[in-house]
Each structure stands twice: as structure tokens, then as C-alpha cells.
Amino acid sequence: MENWQPDRASHIPLHLQIKAYIINKIANGEWPVGTKIPPQRKLAEAFGVNRSTIVAAMDELTADGFIEGSSGAGTIVVNHTWSVMASTPPPDWTSYVKSGAHSANLPTIQQINEAEFRPGIIRLGTGELAKELLPSHRMQEVLQSISARAVPLGYEEPKGNYALRQHISRHVKSLGITASPSSILIVSGALQALQLISLGLLHRGSTVLLEKPSYLYSVPVFPSAAMNMEGIPLDNEGIDVSLLPSCKKRHNGALLYTIPCYHNPTGVMMTQQRREQLMDVCNKEGLPIIEDDVYRDLWLDNPPPAPLKAMDANGIVLYLGSLSKTVSPGLRIGWVIGPEPVIQRLADIKMQTDYGSSSISQWAAAEWLSTGLYEEHLQTVRRQLAVRRDACLTALDKHFGSLGTWNMPSGGFYIWLCLPRPLHMGKLFELALKDGILLNPGYLYDKDNSRHLRISYAYASLTDLEKGLKRLSRIVRDVMNLNGDVGCELASEV
């Protein structure tokens, strides 16, 4: 719902204003027949009124035949008014929505996406840089520079802006990766790269191998393309390579997705030795690799080992990079590096889906990479992220000393907080949200996980980190004490 609020200065009672608002939604076709009405609690919060006001509005809407309650399905729009019954029935958009090929986000992810924009919320799990860490003034200068040069505003070629691909080629060369512009595809963030791979390279029913836990479990990219995912455990050096051959054989694995640098959500850095072992096994098994390296440049203590792609003599690695985690998530610029036939195929699929990433964003990205601004900005970000990481670790020591264990990440955004025993994570999430704290519970990254939270030190301010972790420790204790022992029950979506 948009930020509509009833007018408290009006002579019209609040519940009638809310009733009129909902009728208008129904009459305009925005809430067609079958639409599920948000729960009364959420409506009360959204409209800033008491729940009794919502109850009064719902009672009148029910009496007038606009909505009705359904056991187990909540309240839905039915609109049994004479005007509708006398006309041609509207299309059943609800059935269309349910029939779509792409899976819906997990309910918790949908709640997170909505709650992130609530005023005053403390976002302890958000995987992006805080607004004060984003280079707003520099970006204005970059855009002004582009405007002054009158760069072309038309479509770019299928693989993306050639100048940008040249600059990316030079950028990754410093990482040990040899990639000509023809082997680089510009995408609208690394997530689009995964979508293109799922559409263009894999058969329906294929199995993607990945770390468990993994960020990939939190987005339905591969399941929506009728593909399976099979998790392989990881330790403090990275994925357990010894399990790869048997797992590939048992599940007919088509490729491996891995985040070697500052793993999401655990923060683990894959060691050099483990990288070499992984490449040896994947070369022997003929197992292609998707290397998601979007966090690489966010090292805080020492630079990470060279990418897997830098050791790739046989072209088995598709390398993903992005500016979303370092410069601006709103820029929506990332890249895929791989064998030219693969890049050509992905470029063709991309042209069918969006006809190319934003031309202006591509020119802006080229400016960042070609002028030294990117490296200059990274130095500032690393310093500030290090301060935030250390402050977060201090707050965890203070408030969670007896409530769990955690890692000390050497870069990236995340601390993987492990609680002493399984909890009802759905209850913890809801109680925290009610108290103004937004969490990323472990079951988003491993459906069986009831002990972990992904804590991000990149977004919340230092004050909010301290305040949020203090309040969260109290909520964790409350959930632990709930009915003595809540066991390992998870949220209903799992």
C-alpha cells in the first residue's frame, strides 16, 4: 500500500475514510476479486489507527458485500455488489498470479523488502552500504562529466558498452584474470547474471551445487527455472571439496555456484589452498563453476587470494563482478566473464529480456573505473567498514557474550551469529520486527537452520548497531525462555 493516511481533521469518521479507500482500490481494479486483504494488525499500523477502527471498516465492507472472511485464507475481495454482478465478470487475476512460472519470494524476504522502507527501523541484516558510505557527491560529478561530453543515449551493443568492457578487462587483469572485452558481458547486477545462466545454459531439472548455507537459497532464481539446488557444507576455509565428486555423481550436478570471498552469509574467506583444491577437483570432474566475487574489493585487513578465474586454464569458470556492493546498488551494473560462446549466448538472452542495461549507468561505471575514482572510493569504504566491523564485534561481546559465538570477518559485510541452541526463528523475526529491528534469519540461507542470524555491519549506523544488538539480545533471551524450550521449530514457510 502507498503511504495513504486517513485525514484526522476531516468530519468523516476514520473508519469510513478507510472503507472508502478500500472500495476505491476495488473499483479501480487494483484489488480484483480474490485479492487477499492485509491482516487487521498490518492495516492498523499502515493507517496509524487503532485496530478497532479497522474492525469497524471491515465489518461495513463485509456487510456491503465487498469482502468476506475465508477459513484459513484470511479476508478476500469478493465484491458481490449489484453493479458488478450485472456486468461481465472481471478476469480472475489471482489465478493468473498463482500460475506464473517464476516462484514468489519467501514470505520472510517479502516482509524484509517491505520493512526496509519503514521509518526508524534498525536494519541489522541489510547487505548494502549505508547511505553515508555511498559516494553521492562523486556520483554527481561523474554524471555531470558524462553530460558535458554528450555521450550517446541510445541502446548499447548486445554485450554492453565497449569502453566499459575495456575498463573491466584492465580492472580484472590486476586480479590475475585475462579477459578481452569480447569475453565480458555487462549485466544489471550479478543477480541478473544468474537469471541469464538459468535461462540460457541449463536444462530443466538440472542440479546446481552450492555451499550450504548460501545466499542463493534466499532467491528463487534456479527453482523458478525448474532446477534443483544441492548444498555442500563449508568450514572456515571454504566449501568441503572432498564431498564434491560424490555429490556431483549422486545428484547429477550441472555446475557449482560459490562465493569464495567474504561468503554470504557466513563471511568465510576461502583459503588459497582450498581454491587450488577446488579447481583441481572441478577440472577433473568437468564441473563448471559460477564464481560470485562481488565482495572481493571490500577487504579490510589484507587483500584476498586471487580469484578462481585467475587459475582457470580450461575455461570452466564464469566470473561475476559488480559495482552494487562497492559504489552504488542503484547503478545496477555488473559483469560476467567467461568463454566467448557462453558470453554470446547470455548476451542473446539478455537482449530478449531487457535489450541491454542502462546506457547512462554503463557510461557512469566506465568513468568510475577509468579515472581512479573507484580505487580512491574503495580506500574510504574499507576504512569505514573496518570501524563498523570492530564496533559490531564490540557490541556482540558486550550483549551476546553468553548468548552465542561468531566469526571475525576479514572483509565484506557479514558476521554469522550462532545462537547456543535452536530457536523458533519465525517468532524471533516477528518479535524483533515489532520492536523495530529487521533481521535476516538463518533459514533464509539454509531451510533447516534454526540457530544463526546474518548480522551486517555495513548498513546500520554505529549508534543503531549498539542499540539494535542490545535490544536483540533481550529478545533472544525472551524467545529462549518462551514456554521453557521452543525446540527447533522453524517459520511456517520452511
Q: What is the pLDDT of residues 9-35, one digit of tens each?
A: 999 999 999 999 999 888 888 888 888
DSSP for residue 36 = B
Class of domain 14-100: mainly alpha
Q: Which three cell numbers stand for residue 471?
A: 535490544
Q: What is the pLDDT of residues 214-226, one digit of tens each?
A: 999 999 999 999 9
CATH of domain 136-371: 3.40.640.10
**Options 3.10.180.10, 3.90.1150.10, 3.40.50.1100, 3.30.70.20; CATH of 108-127+376-481:** 3.90.1150.10
SS3 at position 40: helix
- Sheet arrangement for strand 440-441: 414-418, 452-456, 440-441
Sign of the C-alpha dihedral computed for residues 246, 248, 251 and 252 taken in this order? negative
Tell how strand 67-70 and strand 452-456 pair up. unpaired
Alpha-carbon distance 277 to 272, whole Å?
9
Q: In a structure prediction context, what are the per-residue pLDDT tens digits for the chain, which is 494 residues long?
A: 567 899 999 999 999 999 999 998 888 888 888 888 989 988 998 899 999 999 999 999 999 889 998 766 689 988 766 555 555 666 777 777 777 778 888 899 999 999 998 899 999 999 999 999 999 999 999 999 998 887 888 999 999 999 999 999 999 999 999 999 999 999 999 999 999 999 999 999 999 999 999 999 999 999 999 999 999 999 999 999 999 999 999 999 999 999 999 999 999 999 999 999 999 999 999 999 999 999 999 999 999 999 999 999 999 999 999 999 999 999 999 999 999 999 999 999 999 999 999 999 999 999 999 999 999 999 999 999 999 999 999 999 999 998 999 999 999 999 999 999 999 999 999 999 999 999 999 999 999 999 999 999 999 999 999 999 999 999 999 999 874 543 333 333 33
**Neighbour-count burial for 211-249, b at 16+ CB within 10 Å, e otherwise:** bbbbbbbbbebbbbbebebbbbebeebbbebeebeebbe
- 69 pairs with which residues across the strands? 75
List CB contacts of 160: < 8 A, sequence separation 6 or more. Answer: 184, 185, 186, 187, 335, 347, 356, 357, 362
List CB contacts of 406: < 8 A, sequence separation 6 or more. Answer: 393, 396, 400, 415, 416, 417, 418, 455
pTM of the model: 0.85
List CB contacts of 251: < 8 A, sequence separation 6 or more. Answer: 207, 209, 228, 230
Domain ranges of the chain: 14-100, 108-127+376-481, 136-371
